[in-house]
A and B are shown apart, each in its own frame.
Chain A
């Protein structure tokens, strides 16, 4: 009966991989989305015959018989490679070129991190994400502003009516993690800090290895559609093979019940 259960773990793992691939494909146009992939690992082995066991006083079994019990998904590994930058000349769209995240304050007071730099203004003139969460440290654009300029190092200056000199209203900070792949995805393009990501390290864009900022640009997702389609084909074939294994084993068992 073992092979039935082994093949079932195979079906489950391929199903999970298909979910990861579909999630990547569904988010191919999501700003700042980072693709993930499923990592598989073989399950525990049963030792039917111990390798190296003595078959007589002088001889030993050279390899033994190890029967595996299937496969499982150990991780969905997120890849933080850079997406393409698209210029759209919207002054409040900011893309990060290189490492780093924007820090966002959630309504419940916790901090989240994102690469999606499509900011808007709320009624108080504060910079907020498309979901309405405040950017940290908070930036308030004064009323009547003619234009906003964001430098590569995060310096924000505005031009007010009647004044030829730009007024600096604040500085954007970005945050980096030792292991961004360890961040927990929260949805809404947001990530949360975990033990495995390491603590957040805030800094000035362009310094200490943090990426620079590009005003008027957004970062596309880093999903490679062709790669995902190949993954999908591979997953589907593996799924079919595993279902064949179930079918075959079922046939064997049916043969027993029909013939004995």
Chain B
């Protein structure tokens, strides 16, 4: 059969992959701090002898969208959103330093500050331990202050400072668990210019309208590729018919 059918097959398969990516963005349209994944199609000539007529279309990642999501007021003192660029540092399950934009935090039974999904939030010197408190406040630079249990509001004590980083965007990669890390796996330096908004959470930055359009475009692209496969099939059967008649 003509090689056309393989080019069309690759195109259809890649369109389906990209559709999975769009579906994942849509599924995470209500995940706090989620960053939409981006994909693009690039041409990939098929190497080999003969004329270079066949060029596959291959989906490849373009990292993720860095734009800021809407801030949602929650009025909970342990909710923080990063205002503008920047990331909150935490210790991922594998022990490495990773970054997130989702700041729904909790103090666990041992007094350690954790994210909603359970990772330890990192301060300037490792995990942050919070003493028993009656009031807690997180400042714009990540400083955590508490009114310790049994003392009046005049005794505001500092309990640590959340490590905030702002590495170069090109160095950031999404990990398999959805957190973000540096491409070389190291730890980024703390950046004093990153600002937090306490009592806010950042919504997912998935653009629903655009995702719907992407989905329509991908499904049409897929249909065109399938149509090409059908044409290749028709061509081949015509050729077979000619040979039979002679």
Contacts and interface: CB of A to CB of B under 8 A. Distances in A.
A245 B215 contact: yes
B31 A40 contact: yes
Contacts of B200: none
Contact of B132 (A209, A244, A249): A209
Contact of B208 (A43, A63, A237): A237
A52 B226 contact: no
B76 A40 contact: no
Contacts of A9: 27
Interface stretch (B46-54, B169-177, B189-197): B169-177
Nearest to B131: A178
Given A39-B117, A81-B75, A251-B219, A51 B106 contact: no
B106 A6 contact: no
A212 B170 CA distance: 53
A62 B223 CA distance: 30
A222 to B, nearest CB: 10
Contacts, number: 210
Contact of B27 (A71, A194, A256): A71
Nearest to B12: A256
Interface stretch (B58-66, B157-165, B238-246): B58-66
Contacts of B34: 40, 42
Contacts of A242: 23, 26-27
B166 interface: no
Nearest to A51: B173
A68 B62 CA distance: 14
Contact of B116 (A48, A75, A99, A241): A75
A138 B73 CA distance: 42
Contacts of B148: 209
Interface of A: 1-4, 6-7, 9-10, 13-14, 17, 39-49, 51-52, 61-71, 74-75, 77, 79, 81, 98-99, 176, 178-179, 181-182, 194-199, 201, 207-209, 234-235, 237-238, 241-242, 244-245, 248-249, 251-252, 255-256, 259-260
Given A66-B174, A71-B27, 12 more contacts: A2-B20, A3-B24, A44-B178, A45-B178, A49-B61, A52-B183, A68-B24, A75-B117, A178-B110, A199-B109, A238-B30, A245-B19
Interface of B: 12, 15-17, 19-32, 34, 37, 39, 59-63, 75-76, 102, 104, 106-111, 116-118, 132-134, 147-151, 170, 173-178, 183, 208, 211-212, 215-216, 219, 222-223, 226-227, 229-230, 233
